[in-house]
Amino acid sequence: MLPQWIIERKRDGEALSEEQWRGFIDGYVRGEIPDYQMAALAMAVYFRGMAPAETAALTRVMMTSGDTADTSSIRLPKG
């Protein structure tokens, strides 16, 4: 799906699926989606908001979009 279609959906008040968020974030991380399109999506989110499920999906996508630290050797609660 083209980035502008994702931006338009959000601008029009639709909730984005986890797959749509993943495609957009992955494209941005790889440098395939320019800053101005990320800014346009952020503006659409600001004006239209996000459903709780959509927020959870975006959080999962962002959490797995880069390297993660191995905390298995830490004995204290990691809650």
pLDDT value at residue 78: 64
How confident is the model over 11-61, as pLDDT tens digits?
Answer: 999 999 999 999 999 999 999 999 999 999 999 999 999 999 999 999 999
Choose between 9 and 76: higher pLDDT.
9
Q: Are 11 and 30 in contact (CB under 8 A)?
A: no
pLDDT value at residue 18: 96
pLDDT, average across residues 59-76: 87
Euclidean distance between CA atoms 39 and 60, whole angstroms? 20
pLDDT value at residue 79: 62
Euclidean distance between CA atoms 47 and 57, whole angstroms? 19
Tell me the whole-structure pTM to 2 decimals.
0.82
Map out the domains of the chain with their CATH numbers: 3-63 (1.20.970.10)
